[in-house]
Amino acid sequence: MPHSRTLGAASLALALAGCVRVPPPSSHPQSTACRVGTAWSTAYARVRRLGGLAPGQVRILRYRVTAEPALGRPCGSLTLTKRLTLRRGKGPLRIVEIRDFYAQGRLVADHRAFIGHELTDSGVYKARVTLPIPAQAPAGRYEIVSLLYARWGHGAPTLIGRAQTRFTVAR
């Protein structure tokens, strides 16, 4: 999946939340780097295999999210990197990632994505997503909080991982 999907979706959510105004494409003189996408998916790739757990068990050993560079500008982009070390048992496990985007402490966008089909076995996983910054993004501090919930069968979802990162948009 393309790396630009996640921030493009975040940018769209910021625009829809009223945080960022994006002019219609016909009146938008900026380059294609300033266009906002609508897809949010992150493709995780296993980079190392680990031993599993008993069926019905899951454990996050490490979950980290970073944004680089930490300082971005409108019409620029950031790279969001996620590293996840997971041990899980066999069987149908549903894992949902909830990403919340905050601007100056206020929730401006969120996204929910089912990622269990990518985390099919125990291992170390990595995902990278390019996040474009819209031309009209307000300057200030932003924070991304990512929560992972797991559910076996028809049971209640359980929080299994939390990670966050910050970045700044400058004018």
Tell me the per-residue pLDDT of 64-107, one tens digit each, with 9 for 90 and over. 999 999 999 999 999 999 999 999 988 888 899 998 989 888 99
Report how far residue 138's alpha carbon sits from residue 143's, in angstroms, rounded to the nearest whole number: 14
On whether residue 71 sits in a domain, the answer given is: yes
- Name the pLDDT band for 140 (thresholds 50, 70, 90): very high
pLDDT at 34: 58
**Could you tell me which residues are beta bridge partners of residue 131?**
78
On whether residue 29 sits in a domain, the answer given is: no
On whether residue 25 sits in a domain, the answer given is: no
Q: What are the strands of the beta sheet with 140-152, ordered from one edge?
A: 71-72, 158-169, 140-152, 93-103, 106-114
Report how far residue 142's alpha carbon sits from residue 6's, in angstroms, rounded to the nearest whole number: 15
Report how far residue 76's alpha carbon sits from residue 92's, in angstroms, rounded to the nearest whole number: 40
The model's pTM: 0.71
| Alpha-carbon 75 to chain mean position | 19
Average pLDDT, the chain: 79
On whether residue 27 sits in a domain, the answer given is: no
Tell me the per-residue pLDDT of 10-68, one tens digit each, with 9 for 90 and over. 443 444 344 444 433 333 344 444 555 444 567 788 888 888 888 878 899 999 999 99
Which tokens belong to 103?
Answer: 């601007």
> What range defines the domain where residue 65 resides?
5-20+40-169
Which tokens belong to 33?
Answer: 């780097």
On whether residue 118 sits in a domain, the answer given is: yes
**CB of 69 within 8 A of CB of 168?**
no
| CATH at residue 80 | 2.60.40.10
pLDDT at 109: 81
On whether residue 30 sits in a domain, the answer given is: no
| Alpha-carbon 24 to chain mean position | 26
Sign of CA pseudo-dihedral 38, 133, 126, 106: negative
Number of domains in the chain: 1
